[in-house]
Every structure is written in C-alpha cells, then in structure tokens.
Amino acid sequence: MLQSLCLSVGVPGLRRPHTLYPWHRMPAPGRVRRAWVIPPISVSENHKRLPFPLVQIKSDRQQLGSIIYSIQGPGVDEEPRGIFSIDKFTGKVSLNAVLDREKTDRFRLRAFALDLGGSTLEEPTDLEIVVVDQNDNRPVFRQEVFTGRVLEGAVPGTYVTRAEATDADDPETDNAALRYSILEQGGPQLFSIDPHTGEIRTVQVGLDREAVAVYNLTLQVADMSGDGLTATALAVITLEDVNDNAPEFTRAQFFLEATEAVSGVDVGRLEVEDRDLPGSPNWVARFTILEGDPDGQFAIRTDPRTNEGVLSVVKPLDYESREHYDLKVAAQNEAPLQAAAPRAERGQARVSVQVRDVNEAPVFQQNPLRTSLAEGAAPGTPVATFSARDPDTQQPQRLSYSKDYDPEDWLQVDGATGRVQTQRVLSPASPFLKDGWYRAIILAQDDASPPSTATGTLSVEILEVNDHAPELSPPWGSLCSTPEQGSGLLLGATDEDLPPHGAPFHFQLSPRLPELARNWSLSQVNVSHARLRPRLQVQEGLHRLSLLLQDSGQPPQQREQPLNVTVCRCGLDGACLPGAAALRAGGAGISLGALVIVLASVILLLLLALLVALLVRCRQQSCDKRLLHGLQDDLRDNILNYDEQGGGEEDQDAYDMDQLRHPAELAALGAPLGRPSLRRDAPFGRSHPQAPRVLPTSPSDIADFINEGLEAVDSDPAVPPYDTALIYDYEGDGSVAGTLSSILSSLGDEDADYSCLWDWGPRFARLADLYGPREGTREEAF
C-alpha cells in the first residue's frame, strides 16, 4: 500500500495551519520511489505574534503518535538558532522569532520522519521558508553633500553632477523603488534632477558667477516610487569663472612725474577693475603702451596682488631733450575675452609723464677708450685725450679729470683737459699688463653741488718692439764624425719678443769665418729650427763654431753666437759609441753659464760641510762643559782629610791646602809647612821646608807639577798618605754637597760615555781609568 505525506500550511490570521496532501497512492507495476515534495513557504518579516504556526508535515506510513518528526538547518540547530521549531509528534513547524529579510531572505531546512525506534520512515526532504519583504528601511544617500561645478553662462541641459541613494529593502519590490527630487534651490529654478537616475542638469540660461557664485540645492529621495519613506541630502554647485568681463581703468587719464638720468625706477601705478575671479587668468591684466614711447623708455608690469599696472623707466630720460611724455595705454586679460562679453568702456587710458631736471653726471664721448703705445715709451709720451661732456646744457658747468685706478702709477692726467701721458717707463714684466693691455680708470667730475662723477675706462695696448735678438737653445750638441751617420745636430732658437718680432728665424754660418762653410752645412727645418751636418769626415773632439741668427722683426735683430759641437764616433744606429774620443756632454762643450752654476754648487756644498763640522765641534765642546761643570773650581779645594770621626767639610784643619795652593808663597814667608804628625809610619815632628817650586808655564808641565805636589804632601808626616783608608763618623750638618755613595752614583752613570776623558790630558787619566777604561794599554797618571 502506498504511503503519502500530508502538509499543512499556516496562513497569517488562521489558528490552525492548512494541511496539504501532496502524495497519493498510485498503482504501478514494480517498486515506487518515495519522496517528499514540499513547495516554498512564505512568511512575512517583522511578524510579531509568536510563536506562529507555519506548516504541518505528516507521513501515512504509521499511525499518529508512532512517528517522530524533526528539522535541521539554519534557524534551527545552526546560526541563527531558535528561529524555527517542530512538534516531534504532530509535525507542526512554528516561527519563534521576528524575521528580518535584510539579514536573511530565506531559510533552507531538512525535514526527517523516524519511527519510535529511530529508523527512517521517509527520505529527508528540503523545507524552504521564504521571508516576505516589508518596507521597513528608509533610502540612504551615499553622501551627505554632493558637489558639482559648471561654467557660468552654461546652456540648458548641461550636466552638473549626480546624486545616488540606496535602499536595503527587496529591490524586486516597490519597497526599494527610489525617486529623486529637488526640494529647494534658493532662487529661480535653474537646475533639475532626473527622478530615476539622480542626474542634476541646468534648465535655464542666466548662470552668472559675478551674481551668484555658489548654489545650494536640497535633494530628496523616496522609496515606494516616491510615496514611501524619504531621505534628504545637500548638493553644492559652484559656478566656474569665464572671462566675460574686460578690465577697465578707474580713470581716463593719469598724471605722473619721473626723474631724468635714472633707470629701473617706478614712476606710478595705473588702477584697473575686473569683476572676474581674482587671481585667475580671466582677472589678471596685461598692459601695453600704444603711443608716446618710440624709444622704449617706459615699461608697465602687473602687480600680482592688486592687479595694478606699475609704470617704470627702463632707459634714462633726458630733460634737455624732452620734458614731457604723453602715453596711451591699453589693458586686457591674459585669457581671451568671451565673444558674447560686452566691451569695456575704459579699456584704454592716457598717462601724462612730466620729466624732472636734475644734475646729471658727465658723459665720456668714448667709453671705454682704447689706444696703443709702443713698449718702453719714454716719460711724457702722449697716450690719449679722455674727455667728457656735461649733458646739463641748461646749467653750464666746469669739468675736472683725475685718476681712480692706475696700479703701476704709469699715467698722468691733466685735470683740466683730460689729456693722458706717461710719467715713467712701464716695465714689460708688470703683473698688471694682461695680454699686452694695460687698464686704467679715469674720473670726470663737474662742479655742481653736490657734484656728479663719471667713470671711464682707458685700455692701452702695449705694442711689441723688436728689441731682442734670437738665441740658440741650447748652444751645444753632438753629432757623428761622418756625414752618412746620424741625423745631424738639430738647432733651435728662442726670442723674448712677441710675434711678429720672433719666428721665423734665419740660421747662417758666420760670414766672418768662410772655412766653416767648407766643412759644415746648415739647412732650415722649420720656422724655429735648423739642422747642422758635416760636409766631410770631421775629426773627433770639440769644435767651436759661430752662427748668425736673425729674427723676422721690423727692423730685424741678429746676433752671432758660439756653438760648441762635440764630434764623436758613432755606431750603426747613428749614436755615439761608449768611450769615444769625443764625449757628447763633456765638460769641454759646457758653456760659461753652466760652468758658473757647477762651481757655485761645489762652493755651496763645501760651505755646508764646514757648517756641519762647526756644529759638531760646538756640540762636543758643550758636552765637555757639562762634564766639567763640577770641576771648574779648584779641584784641590774638595780634597779633605778626615782622620777622626768628626769634621767633614766644616773641618779645614785635617789637611793643609796651602801645600797645593801656594807653596812658593809659604816658602817665601817662612811659614811652617807641616802640622803635628798624624801618621804612624812617620816620627812626630815638623816636616822640613820645601824648596820653592816654579808654576808651570805650559799645559805639558801641569802633570809634573801635580805629581811633585802630591809627592810632597805624601811625605809630610803631619797628614795621612794619599791612599790611606780614612775613618768617617759625624760629618757635621748644613752641607750642600750630594752623597758620595758609589751605589747611588752608579745609577745614573751606567749609560754615560766617558771615553772623552782620555783626551783631556794626564790630569784626568785616573778619572778616565775609573769611568771609561781604554782597551789595550792603560796609562797610570799617578
């Protein structure tokens, strides 16, 4: 037996849902495939009576109460959850929440029919619930303010801008059918809007930016084809400027005054008016002088801030030649004027300029003034007359002239006439002579109050004079002894004079010595060089020739000069062989100037060697002085005899210093030369008087004198011998002497060199032996 499904649809306003029976029993051979066929169910959004029955599903496979129904999908067990539910025993589907079509416009659920044991009775089928739209959303403009621009004077129908709005309701219904309109324009109806597209266009002529520059339109949009919900927005329309107004002068004539003899100054301003947009090319004025300025002495520029014409003088005016100017001036915009624009009534104006007379500076008739003068011109040579004139013809004045710049103080200017002459000879090597030109500045001043001064430049070309003969460069050389070998000797010449008084040079063997032409030939190579060759086999060695050189100046200068030629034996390559009899650059061929330079160099080297030797000697003497600094006093005064624990330097009784100081005087006075004996190896008593000794007269006798004195002291029984060990105790206090400790003394002397003590004579032999023993033999001084 065929089974069928019963479907009941709930209609708003009914208490029970309508039951549908879409399946029927159909006899047919074989098996029949079961399926649920359920049409979409529509339900209105914003339905407030909840829960609301939507539909009831039934299966006839079993008795009522033995079937369990369920649904799945968005709105049930998927987000958004809890919107729909089903009675599992009756199959009634209910709406449990308010629907919003703008969020979800339809729900697709799956319906299931199971027996009490959970087995599937019917195949799952789709249950589609469609949310019916309601007009619950107002239209919304995409912008709060729409902007547009249009040229003033635009023709009707010109596109300006477009307003756009949206509606969240179903676009397939009238709920989203939008219509546009203009609520307010703030004046005449100059604009319209398309109700369907929102395009705003002009509808009338008469848009004038100078009258109204900006229009504010209030726009409205409504759904339900204009009868539903509404929204408003603002449209701001700006008129763009066109050049429909020509500039006009504020006056028909302007009166100005200008000072003569000045340029680059403003004379006055010409005011204009223009109703177009300030700062735009339609507003900016350009001025033209139509008449009254044939020499182009005036110019008019535009002030970008005020749009005024500024009249200025670009060339100095001259009151004496013209006292008044009557100019005709026109004004027009940068941008071309619209064809339909009215012509300006004051597009042109008259400008009257009165010239004011002032004291003008003198004017040099020719500035700069160029002249020429031969070099070496004598003092008092006339150079030029640099005169000026006073342009003030109606005020005759006296002019005076002076120098402003003359670095070599070469020129002298007559203060009354402007006549310039030399006052000394100008050196050709002057640093102020640039490319043969000398520049000076002359001043001309009138006697007005205050005076006016003019500056003139005087340029003097120093003409070259042929006052130098050419010279060989160099005046020596070498060549092969046979004519067939080598390329000969290339000779060059130089000339201190500038062109055209220099090259080409003429080389010639001296006519005074005709034998030169028999042995030598001279051929011109170019304007400054010639080649010398032997005509025959020439003997090796030095040959002294004489050449006559002449330049191309007017008049020409010539000089006969010696030429030292070294003739040598050459190899196959034309070069001098090593060890040849004639040396290429030997001293025999050297010039006198080169010889003087060599001798001066040798003398300078000898002087430097002598200076170095003197410095070394002075340093050695300085070293000797430092070593002998403590020995400059009498050495004998530092020898003290201490034979008891006391005394020290304060005790002068232990040793009789007179034995070493003045033995001759002591003998002459008969003073006793001894003291009570302090030695154990000698008997007590006085020593015998010593014979007077003669003082040494030469350095060689000093050693003998010292030895004899020491021997006399050593034999005196009143003093201990020279090499006796002494006993020291308290040495007194207040001594300024340093320590004599050998331990301390050796700390700073271990690196010192005392070998020079051996050169000081026998007196320092012992000291030299102690500090710097000489290798080999050792002298004993004592």
Q: Which residue has the tokens 């200076």?
A: 611
Provide the pairing of β-strand 471-472 with 489-494: antiparallel
Do 125 and 110 touch, CB atoms closer than 8 A? yes
Q: Quick one: DSSP state of residue 170?
A: -
pLDDT at 195: 94
Beta carbons of 320 and 225 less than 8 angstroms apart:
no
Domain that holds residue 518: 471-568
Helix/strand/coil percent split, the chain, to 5: 15, 35, 55
pLDDT band at 5 (very low <50, low <70, confident <90, very high): very low
CA separation for the pair 432, 475 (Å, rounded): 34
How far apart CA 772 and CA 753 sit, in angstroms, is 7
227 and 252 belong to one structural domain: no
pLDDT at 772 over 90: no
The pLDDT of residue 426:
84
Span 285-301, average pLDDT: 95
75 and 90 co-located in one domain: yes
Residues paired with 420 in a beta bridge: 384, 413
Cα separation of 107 and 536, whole Å? 133
Give yes or no for residue 40 having a pLDDT over 90. no
d(CA 458, CA 461): 10
Question: In three state form, how does the secondary structure of 310-371 look?
Answer: EEEECCCCCCCCCCEEEEEEEEEECCCCCCCCCCCCCCEEEEEEEEECCCCCCEECCCCEEE
pLDDT of res. 713: 63
The Cβ-side half-sphere exposure at 226, using a 13 Å CA radius, reads: 8
pLDDT band at 779 (very low <50, low <70, confident <90, very high): very low
**C-alpha–C-alpha distance, residues 244 and 78, integer Å:** 70
**Residue 700 Cα distances to 422, 755, 757, 774, angstroms:** 80, 21, 16, 21
Minimum mean pLDDT range among 23-32, 141-150, 152-161 = 23-32
Mean pLDDT for all residues in the chain: 78
| Whether residue 265 is found in the same domain as residue 348 | yes
Q: Determine the pLDDT at residue 575.
A: 84
Provide the H-helix boundaries in 99-142.
none
Indicate whether 468 pLDDT > 50. Answer: yes
Q: Is residue 14, in this structure, part of any structural domain at all? A: no
Q: Residue 579, CB half-sphere, CA atoms under 13 Å: how many? A: 0
Domain end marker among 512, 547, 568 = 568
Residue 89 identity:
F
For residues 86-115, average pLDDT: 86
How many CB atoms sit inside 10 A of residue 371's CB?
A: 14
Buried b (16+ CB within 10 A) or exposed e, 420-437: bbbeeebebeeeebeeee
The answer on 144 and 126 residing in a single domain is no
**pLDDT average, residue stretch 643-648:** 48
Are residues 516 and 451 located together in one domain of the fold? no
Q: Which of 310, 341, 356 is the last residue of a domain?
A: 356
Contacts of 97 (CB under 8 A, 6+ apart): 50, 80, 82, 83
| 734: amino acid identity, one letter | G
585, part of any domain: no
Q: What is the pLDDT of residue 343?
A: 79
Q: Looking at the structure, do residues 438 and 407 belong to the same domain, yes or no? A: yes
**E strand spans, 133-247:** 140-141, 145-151, 159-162, 165-166, 179-184, 191-193, 199-202, 214-222, 230-240
**Side by side, which strands form the sheet with 382-385?**
382-385, 419-422, 411-413
Question: In this structure, are 53 and 81 located in the same domain?
Answer: yes
pLDDT interval class at 624 (50, 70, 90):
low
- The Cα 96–Cα 76 span in angstroms is 10
Residue 221 has a pLDDT of 94
Whether the CB-CB separation of 71 and 127 falls below 8 Å is answered with yes
pLDDT band at 165 (very low <50, low <70, confident <90, very high): very high
Q: Beta partners for 90?
A: none
Q: In this model, does residue 309 exceed pLDDT 90?
A: yes
User: Three-state DSSP class for 604?
Assistant: helix
Domain assignment present for 635: no
User: What band does 696 get if pLDDT is binned at 50, 70 and 90?
Assistant: low
pLDDT of 420 strictly over 80: yes
pLDDT band at 10 (very low <50, low <70, confident <90, very high): very low
Q: Looking at the domain assignment, is residue 542 inside a domain?
A: yes
pLDDT score for 538: 86
Q: What percent of the chain has pLDDT over 70?
A: 75
pLDDT band per the 50, 70, 90 thresholds, residue 144: very high
Query: What pLDDT was estimated at residue 691?
Result: 57
Asked whether residue 677 carries a pLDDT value surpassing 60, the answer given is no
How buried is residue 42: exposed, middle or buried, by Cβ count under 10 Å (0-12/13-18/19+)? middle
pLDDT of 102 reads 81
The answer on 202 and 123 residing in a single domain is no
Token pair listed for 424: 């000394």
More confident residue, 699 or 577: 577
Verify that 126 and 145 share a domain, yes or no.
no
Least confident of 188-202, 207-221, 341-355, 658-672: 658-672
Q: What is the pLDDT of residue 556?
A: 86
679 or 566: which leads in pLDDT: 566
**Distance separating alpha carbons of residues 418 and 408, to the nearest angstrom:** 19
**Cβ atoms of residues 223 and 167 within 8 Å:** yes
1-5, 251-255, 533-537, 594-598: range with lowest mean pLDDT: 1-5
Q: How far is it, in rounded angstroms, from Cα 733 to Cα 650?
A: 8
Please write the tens of the pLDDT for every residue from 248-264. 999 999 999 999 888 99
Pick the more confident residue, 704 or 503. 503
Q: What are phi and psi of 328, to 5 degrees?
A: -110, 120
pLDDT of 146 > 90? The answer is yes
Q: Which of 116-130, 204-218, 723-737 has the lowest mean pLDDT?
A: 723-737
- In the predicted structure, residue 430 carries a pLDDT above the cut 80: yes
pLDDT for the residue numbered 290? 94
343 compared with 402, residue with greater pLDDT: 402
Structure pTM? 0.44
Of 82, 173, 84, 81, which is closest to residue 128 (Cα–Cα)?
84
The reply to whether 220 falls in a domain is yes
Q: What is the CATH number of the domain that holds 524?
A: 2.60.40.60
Residues 261 and 212 occupy one common structural domain = no
Dump the DSSP string for 621-649: HHHHHHHTGGGSS-GGGG-----SSS-GG
668 lies in a domain? no
Please, which residues have CB within 8 angstroms of residue 551's CB and are 6 or more apart in sequence?
466, 469, 470, 495, 497, 501, 502, 503, 505, 506, 557, 558
Reading the block at residue 454, the tokens are 């003019």
Q: What total number of domains does the chain contain?
A: 6
- Closest residue by Cα to residue 176 from 188, 167, 187: 167
Range from 35-44, 47-56, 642-651, 740-749 that averages highest in pLDDT: 47-56
**For the segment 577-623, what is each residue's pLDDT rounded down to a tens digit?**
876 544 444 444 445 556 678 888 889 888 888 888 888 877 766 65
State how far the Cα of 31 lies from the Cα of 208, in Å rounded to an integer: 87
Contact between residue 22 and residue 7 where contact means Cβ atoms under 8 Å apart: yes
Residue 113: is its pLDDT beyond 50? yes
Nearest to 53 by CA among 41, 65, 63: 41
Beta bridge partners of 103: none
Name the DSSP letter for residue 611. Answer: H
Residue 140: its pLDDT value, please? 93
Whether 761 is in a domain gets the answer yes
Residues 460 and 440: their CA atoms lie apart, in Å, by 8
Query: Rounded to whole angstroms, how far apart are CA atoms 200 and 190?
Result: 10
What lies within 8 Å, CB to CB, of 741 at 6+ separation is: none
Burial environment of residue 401 by CB neighbours within 10 A (0 to 12, 13 to 18, 19 or more)? buried
Whole-angstrom distance, CA of residue 722 vs CA of residue 710: 8
Question: Same domain, yes or no, for 292 and 316?
Answer: yes
Each residue's pLDDT tens digit, 711-730: 776 666 655 555 555 554 55
Structural contact between residues 331 and 301, judged by C-beta atoms closer than 8 angstroms: no
- Are the CB atoms for 235 and 161 separated by under 8 Å? yes
pLDDT tier, 745 (very low <50, low <70, confident <90, very high otherwise): very low
Quick one: which of 312, 444, 441 has its CA closest to 391?
444
Per-residue tokens: 725: 């060990």
Last residue of a domain, one of 356, 373, 390: 356
Mean pLDDT in residue range 327-340: 90
How high is the pLDDT of residue 342?
78
Residue 606 placed within a domain? no
**459 & 383 share domain:** yes
